[in-house]
Chain A
Amino acid sequence: MKPGDAPEPMLAVQHLRVSYQGRPVLADVNFTLRRHQISAFAGAAGAGKTTILKALAGLLRPVAGKILFEGEAIEGLPAWEVVKRGIVYVPEGMRIFPQMTVVENLEVGAYLKREGIPARLDLVFSIFPELQEKVRLPAGVLSGGQQRMVTLARGLMAAPRLLLLDEPFMGLSPKLVKRFCDSFRDLRQTGITLLIAGQYVFRVLNVAEVAHLVEHGQITLSGSGPELLRDRHLKEILFPTGDRPPTGDKIG
Chain B
Amino acid sequence: MDTEAPKICLELRQISKSYREQQVLKEISFTLKEREILGIIGPNGAGKTTLFNIINGLVRPNRGTIFFQGQETTHWSSSSLSRMGMARTFQVPQIFPEMSVMENVLMGFRFGPEEGPTPAEAGDQAGELLEMVELADKAATAARELSLAEQHLLEVGRALATRPSLLLIDEIAAGCSPRTVQRLAELMAAWRNRGLTLLITDHLLNLTLPVSDRLLALDQGEIIAAGIPREVIRHPEVVAAYLGTRP
Contact = CB atoms under 8 A, between A and B. Distances in A.
Interface of A: 44-46, 92-94, 130, 141-146, 148-149, 167, 170-179, 199-200, 237-241, 246-248, 250
Secondary structure call for the A interface: loop
A145 B44 contact: yes
B124 to A, nearest CB: 29
A174 B178 contact: no
B31 interface: no
B148 to A, nearest CB: 7
| 9 shortest interchain CB distances as A-B pairs | A145-B44, A175-B244, A246-B206, A247-B205, A178-B244, A143-B45, A144-B91, A173-B43, A44-B177
B19 A141 contact: yes
Interface stretch (B54-62, B134-142, B168-176): B168-176
Contacts of A130: 44-45
Given A178-B245, A239-B178, A246 B205 contact: yes
A173 B45 CA distance: 10
Given A240-B178, A246-B205, A247-B206, A143 B245 contact: no
26 contacts: A45-B175, A92-B175, A94-B92, A130-B44, A143-B46, A144-B44, A145-B45, A146-B45, A167-B175, A170-B174, A171-B44, A171-B171, A173-B43, A174-B205, A174-B243, A174-B244, A175-B242, A176-B44, A177-B244, A199-B175, A239-B178, A240-B182, A247-B206, A248-B205, A248-B243, A248-B247
Given A93-B148, A149-B44, A246 B182 contact: no
Contacts, number: 98
Nearest to B42: A173
A216 B46 CA distance: 38
Given A171-B44, A248-B205, 9 more contacts: A44-B178, A46-B147, A143-B48, A145-B45, A146-B44, A178-B244, A178-B245, A240-B178, A240-B182
Contacts of A142: 45
Which residue among B48, B178, B242 has the maximum number of chain A CB atoms within 10 Å of its CB? B178
A168 to B, nearest CB: 12
A171 B174 contact: yes
A145 B203 contact: yes
B244 A199 contact: no
Interface residues of B, number: 34
Nearest to A50: B147
B77 interface: no
Given A144-B91, A238-B178, A175 B241 contact: yes
Contacts of B147: 45-46
Nearest to B247: A247
Contacts of B203: 145, 171-174
Contacts of B241: 175
Contacts of B187: none
B179 interface: yes
Interface string B215-239: 0000000000000000001000000
A179 B205 CA distance: 17
